Structure 1
Amino acid sequence: MIERKYPLRAIDKAAQFITRLFPLWVILFSVYALIHPALFQPYRGAVPSLLGLVMLGMGLTLTPVDFRLILTRPRDVFYGVALRYLIMPLAGFVVARVLSLPPELAAGVILVGCCPSGTASNVLTYLAKGDTALSITLSSVNTLLAPVLTPYIFLALAGALIPVRAEDLLADILRIVLLPVSVGLVLRVLFAGTVERLRMIVPLLSVVTIVFIIAIVIALNAAKLFTVAWIALTAVTLHNGAGLAAGFNAARSAGLGASKARALAFTIGVENSGLAAALAMAHLDPLAAVPGALFSVWQNLTGSVLAGYWGNAGFGTKDGE
């Protein structure tokens, strides 16, 4: 029994090590994609399927218990969902206007804001000693609402910038997000024992897949990226910072405790930027996928720093603070 458990522990430690260095892998493979774009460009059509694989992994980590807070703490969930789909789309719109971004980049920034919370928000909330249960519920509910809310909010804010049909976005989000998450959730319920034994592989698979998606986006925009990289990174920096700050302060203003506010900060400021990149590739312009790719790197860097500060400094460790 000990011999059988040891390889699993070794795999688990290796997966954790690789997952923790996610920003490093993104940077390394992005640079490699810039230097050798031809290696990644042929895989453009695989981006939606790759993201669907990530969403399947998310579904495998969920259980019906994760949605229990909808009934037991409806006020917290309502605030989290409402603020999520209010703050980030508007922040993206304002950033795009203030920086006078080209239409393709502006649409990409707004699309990032209209997408649901990223699964990394749960890990960051845990590290920050925030309300992890609330974070899991919010990211799950936001993801399930995305097929309805994301396309129509995006159309309202960016429809004049670049032609797009909300119905097409809705269909792709159903296929890329809702269907794989639902399948994963069902598999988790039906084969709980098997899924639990393989749980350490899911984050590793997600990291590898997202890194590959970002490399594809970078490769497809290699020729243009040097001319837009700084303005795009500025937009991403402002957008992410606005989400984290506004999420925390809006939650506190609504009377939520510090641990809940930390959960909302990450739920709002950390995006499913891979979905934004995939949708941009399919329905907008490859250049519109750049903000999503950059957001994936930046949000993990800023999120890790903020989570470390909150978690180690003991800032607002009690809900009443």
Structure 2
Amino acid sequence: MSARTLLILLASLTGLAFFISLLAGEHAAARLAALFALPGHDALERELLLALRLPRVVSAAAAGALLATAGLAIQARFHNDLAEPGLIGISGGAALAAALALAARWPTLAVSIAAFGGALAALLLVSHLARDRATATLILAGVAVNALCGSLLTLLISTLPDGALRSVTFWLMGSFAGSDGRQAWLLALLAIAVTVALQRQGRFLQALQLGDRAAFYSGFNVGRNGAVTIALAALAAGVVVSQCGMVGFVGLMAPHILRRLTGLHLPTLLKLAPLAGALLTLLADLAARELLYPAELPVGVITSLAGAPFFLYLLTRKRPSHA
């Protein structure tokens, strides 16, 4: 399938998923009338739609775009198809730092900054432990960092009062339910900024697939460009975790699906990844809301139910190739 055809298809499917997710549930017809301010629409329904459902759907789409783009960039930087924010400890580091900030009752912006710092620290630690970039070493280093962060998180959570314990536990499992307008548009603007910035690294990441030396002789500053790529990926993963909790495997599934459809041209994949990630998280959020209605599942449970078998499939089918 050509990149242009896939871009049009992904944009159409993502737009359709956005629209369905916005209107899904009871009173879908009333929401449709309220959305377009049709004659006889309920003003209260329109206000609820714009104040509650729209921010949630925008947050879901933006988070998916950020996670997919970050996952693709990390895989390209480390020459490892199995690298993903949740698998190599980035999300764990972000979650620990964000939970500490939340426990200290820091403001929202400070929580996001703390999560970015935690994600970046975890990524740097894993990359240091896996200097040979072998798949097994990278994944094992990620498992170790995740285990450490998980243990510290458990210790922290055990000290919280019951009310805070329930809210933090649900947040860690991933949810877009608490999204408000400010959070949604912050994530949307960040998704645009990060994806554009990483797309500017596309030629560098493509050259990097032939090795650091080949990228250097192609005219790139490998150290600087690599640091920018890592920082942007950590920023994307950290902010998503701070705002929405742990939503795993999106950064693994979206790049792999795109590779099977279009090949390995990094600049092209970086253009398509945000749409693929947004589509996955919109569908996951829709499933989380509707599968056990009126109860609601954490979105992280849905993405893990899909992503864990996908990860096992990749392990059993072939040795991971370069991004």
Same-fold status (TM-score > 0.5) = no
Structure number with higher helix proportion: 1
- Rg: which structure is higher? 2
Q: TM-score, normalised to structure 2's length?
A: 0.31
Q: TM-score, normalised to structure 1's length?
A: 0.31
